[in-house]
Amino acid sequence: MLLEQFEVGPYLNFTYIVAESEGGEGVVIDPSFQIEPVLEAIDRHGVKVRFILNTHSHPDHIAGNQDVRERTGAKVVAYRSAPLHQDVSVSDGEHVQSGRLRFQVVHTPGHTPDSVLYIFEGHVATGDTLFVGECGRTDLPGGDPSALYDSLLGRVAKLDDGLVVLPGHDYGTTPTSTIGREKRENYVLKPRTREEFLRFLQE
């Protein structure tokens, strides 16, 4: 598998290219600002980009959609309620198949109502649901602390410890992590009751 992480723009966003191989079919996850290096890498690796996978609808995660779409013909994939141009609308538990790669959709509302994870080949793209050592904020429109509790403690914390975490921003001590390490070290994944979690988020 080919996996390349790009840190782009003023908010330290991560955009990812994932492909089955050099010259193979693949996807771009969260095309952000300053997309030119990503487009160059797509050409350099000869990746046939079939899909753009958006983890949620915030502008810094979709800013490059149109450029990647025009250059590659890729279809935009997002959670069905996401307010953006979608070619393929997905729901919890569905899969997106690109060549030999299969991306499983896990709906994790909280940061936004349309936040999803994409799980593939031992990796999980977490968008702004989970960062290395932190989680996404819930004080923007559509943010929901109680939903984030269910997503983090009910879903993320139950994922396989070995999965490599690919976050939506470079906000941690390292650019990637694992679910096991985040469960040990990330204070947002500490076991808490809903009440404790809501209090914790307000602090």
Residues of the shown chain interacting with Fe ion in the complex, contacts defined by CB under 5 A: 58, 128
State in angstroms the smallest separation of the CB of 37 from Fe ion.
Answer: 21
Task: Count other C-beta atoms under 10 Å from residue 47's C-beta.
Answer: 24
Nearer to Fe ion, 98 or 128 (CB): 128
Nearer to Fe ion, 28 or 135 (CB): 135
Q: How far apart are CA 143 and CA 68, in angstroms?
A: 28
State in angstroms the smallest separation of the CB of 24 from Fe ion.
Answer: 29
Nearer to Fe ion, 60 or 182 (CB): 60
DSSP string, the chain: -EEEEEEETTTTEEEEEEESSTTSEEEEES--S--HHHHHHHHHHT-EEEEEE-SS--HHHHTTHHHHHHHH-PEEEEETT-SS--SEEE-TT-EEEETTEEEEEEE--SSSTT-EEEEETTEEEEETTEETTEE--S-STT--HHHHHIIIIIIGGGS-TTPEEEESB--SSSS-EEHHHHHHH-GGGS---HHHHHHHHH-
State in angstroms the smallest separation of the CB of 200 from Fe ion.
Answer: 20
State in angstroms the smallest separation of the CB of 193 from Fe ion.
Answer: 26
State in angstroms the smallest separation of the CB of 165 from Fe ion.
Answer: 16
Task: Count other C-beta atoms under 10 Å from residue 16's C-beta.
Answer: 21
Nearer to Fe ion, 26 or 168 (CB): 168
State in angstroms the smallest separation of the CB of 182 from Fe ion.
Answer: 18
Nearer to Fe ion, 114 or 128 (CB): 128
Nearer to Fe ion, 4 or 128 (CB): 128
